[in-house]
Amino acid sequence: MSESTEKKMVRLRSSDGEVFEVEESVAKVAKTLQDMLEEDCADAVIPITCVRAPILTKVIDYCKDQVMISSSSSTTNNPNERTEQERKAWGQKFMEGVDSSTLCELLVASNFLNIEGLLNLGVDKMVSMIQGKYPQEIRDMFNVVNDFTPEEEEEIRNQNAWAFERDPYYKKRSSSK
């Protein structure tokens, strides 16, 4: 990366109106933004209407890190600038303490902005979060309305009884309802 060329800045506006100024290289990690910038159809401030400020901050953090990795590898030509293991560890740390609703928003944002790495990271995190959970927890988590009639629900549950038998807390919970 040559320091002489002036770094072009891009401004992004989150859904709640906050404006972020980032280097163009950082914004370009997001394929959606890259396409926009390359086609030169971006206005002075790019509205990212489906992403709230705290989520966008997180996304930008990720993009910055990606830029850092790629730039360091191109300048120093060091083959082990970041091993697979360090990458995984970094990913875990990045996702640490993210709750489910933030994670959903992050997934939506990375899908929308088309950032494959972040999407992958988020999906893995989500998988580890929801496996072993029970239907009602899933409904609460994703705001899903149970649109089965009690009879239908009972039928499916009977079909899959073995999956529920594995859960010692399930009966307790449903009987207390």
Residues of this chain that bind other proteins (CB under 8 A): 15, 32, 35-36, 47, 49-50, 83-85, 88-89, 92, 101, 104-105, 107-108, 111-112, 114, 119, 123-124, 126-128, 130-135, 138-139, 142-148, 153, 156-157, 160, 162-168
Assess contact for 138 and 123: CB atoms under 8 A: no
Retrieve residue 63's tokens.
């993009």
Instruction: Report the greatest alpha carbon distance in the chain.
Output: 70
* Closer residue to other proteins (CB): 2 or 162: 162
* Closer residue to other proteins (CB): 7 or 171: 171
- Minimum Å gap between C-beta 50 and other proteins is 5
Assess contact for 115 and 30: CB atoms under 8 A: yes
* Closer residue to other proteins (CB): 13 or 67: 13
- Minimum Å gap between C-beta 133 and other proteins is 7
Positive or negative, the CA dihedral 25, 26, 27, 30 is positive
Give CA–CA dist 89/158, Å, rounded. 41
* Closer residue to other proteins (CB): 71 or 153: 153
- H or E element, residue 113: helix 100-113
